[in-house]
Structure 1
Amino acid sequence: MADLTLSDKSDRYLVDCSGAIYGTISHNIGGIKMLDLALIKPIIQSALEEDIGRGDITAEATVSPSSYGEAKIIAEEEGILAGIEVVKEVFRLVSLGEVKFSHGLKDKAILTKGKSILILETDALSILKGERVALNFLSRLSGIATLTKKYVDLASPFGVKVFDTRKTTPNLRNLEKYAVRIGGGFNHRFSLDSG
């Protein structure tokens, strides 16, 4: 199976001749190839199913479905933000109604301890259902971006570029490689058949 590497301005990164898509790139904004939520939505849905299971009987017994809530995501330490669109998609998927996002930072923002990352408003049950998965994705991706940025800063005076490998968490490769790009690193290859 031969791969065709498309230009940075294309809608997809790697496409094999069967039409299968490798990567999560949908468009290029400010030099960073952005996530294609259609490709990562199944990953988010799987994580939600794993975490929610058959439901949160405590929350469902104590919180009215008509209760409205606000959640503020705040940075616990310094770093580079990555995964904000994943967080938003988590809450879009679990929400019983409309979700409003405000005061949101964008991926690649520099975080300081106590800095507000995002405020969201939706039904209270949805906030409780989605918060752990959202924070897990945000913490993991921001951690990767932060560590990558550290290595990029150490290597750049020597003219060295930092590349990732395929040694990623199963099923999270596209997300983790995205976080590397947010941190200023480069992707090497997405799979064995990509060279």
Structure 2
Amino acid sequence: MTFQLDRFDLAAFVQSTLAEDLGEVGDITSAAVIPEDAVFTGVMDSRDAITVAGLPIAEAFFRALDPEVWIERLVEDGVRVAAGTELLRLRGRARAMLAAERSALNTVQHLSGIATLTRRYADTIEGSGATLLDTRKTLPGLRVVEKYATRMGGAQNHRMGLWDAAMIKDNHVAVAGSVGEAARRAVAAGIASIIVEVDRLDQIAPALEAGATHLLLDNMPPETLREAVAEVAGRVPTEASGGVRLDTIRAIAESGVTYVSVGRLTQSAPAADIGLDFSAA
């Protein structure tokens, strides 16, 4: 089955990534050292316990340079695996496999790193009743795939961009004059989903009265979050955000909020340790 994500052109991504690596003349090392008709077998495996993400994209890199490459996917994205688990087996033209190797590995290491960190956060709040959200703190050009990786790790996607929901923050409020006035302007513009950031309890009533459909409770400690949730009383979803860490997220989630959003999922995830070893066929 073809790997597809909304607003992501896999073929263009593969082409531009390979062009960046191969330049105008290609892999000069392999061309000099590896016979043109040489065939390699390869195994991609995880050196650590991880949550996997990005394997279909890795496969696309190999297929782009060798359409006849044989690939066996041994696990699926979103699966948790132990250290030493084999992820892919491959057999194909040696030069093509070496040329695609780094792009494929970089992608799987990065996306699996995001999925693995996300899974740690999701596991930490399991049973609390709160749902984990990602943010827009993604690398330019990689938002769609990074947000795909957070889904593989157990999060839900927040806004994909500035276009799919209004989010009124402090700078908007500063220009509009108040939380209520900013929300009223969004309602007047015909926007259906209006997220309003509040950092004080006295902003909640004006935001709701003006038409907010979702409240982002910014940098509030758990006790304040509980007060905010009680005041909202289920009228709109509530989201805790700001400075959330693994050691604090459980208490935040147990405050009764609907969501907890975490920028660190994409902003600070370390790459997963994944290797790819080749041998002559």
Q: TM-score, normalised by structure 2?
A: 0.55
Deviation at 1:90, TM superposition (A): 0.7
Deviation at 1:105, TM superposition (A): 1.2
2:91 aligns to what? Answer: 121
Residues in 2 aligned to 1:119 and 1:75: alpha-carbon distance in whole angstroms: 13
Select the residue among 85, 93, 99 that pairs with 2:64. Answer: 93
Q: Residues 171 and 63 of structure 1: is their aligned pair in 2 closer, same or farther, counting only changes over 3 Å?
A: same
The answer on 1:191 being equivalent to 2:175 is no
Q: Is the 8 A contact 1:43 1:171 kept in 2?
A: no
The answer on 1:49 being equivalent to 2:14 is no
Map 1:30-179; keep pairs closer than 5 Å: 35=5, 39-53=9-23, 54-95=25-66, 97-179=67-149
Deviation per CA, 1:95-121, whole angstroms, max 9, x where unpaired? Answer: 1x4011125211112121111110011
Residues in 1 aligned to 2:152 and 2:133: alpha-carbon distance in whole angstroms: 12
Q: Is the 8 A contact 1:81 1:142 kept in 2?
A: yes
Residues in 2 aligned to 1:36 and 1:107: alpha-carbon distance in whole angstroms: 17
Q: Is the 8 A contact 1:43 1:172 kept in 2?
A: no
Residues in 2 aligned to 1:166 and 1:44: alpha-carbon distance in whole angstroms: 23
Deviation at 1:35, TM superposition (A): 3.6
Residues in 2 aligned to 1:39 and 1:106: alpha-carbon distance in whole angstroms: 21
Instruction: Give the SS at the match of 1:192.
Output: coil
Q: Residues 38 and 184 of structure 1: is their aligned pair in 2 closer, same or farther, counting only changes over 3 Å?
A: closer
Deviation per CA, 1:7-53, whole angstroms, max 9, x where unpaired? Answer: xxxxxxxxxxxxxxxxxxx99xxxxxx64697222122211111122
Residues in 1 aligned to 2:158 and 2:93: alpha-carbon distance in whole angstroms: 42
Cα RMSD of the aligned pairs, angstroms, is 1.9
Deviation at 1:61, TM superposition (A): 1.1
Q: Residues 103 and 165 of structure 1: is their aligned pair in 2 closer, same or farther, counting only changes over 3 Å?
A: closer
- Share of identical aligned residues, percent? 37
Deviation at 1:57, TM superposition (A): 1.2
Residues in 2 aligned to 1:36 and 1:105: alpha-carbon distance in whole angstroms: 23
Letter aligned with residue 62 of structure 1: V
Larger Rg: 2
Q: Residues 123 and 38 of structure 1: is their aligned pair in 2 closer, same or farther, counting only changes over 3 Å?
A: farther
Q: Residues 51 and 188 of structure 1: is their aligned pair in 2 closer, same or farther, counting only changes over 3 Å?
A: same
Instruction: Give the SS at the match of 2:127.
Output: helix
Q: TM-score, normalised by structure 1?
A: 0.78
2:261 aligns to what? Answer: none
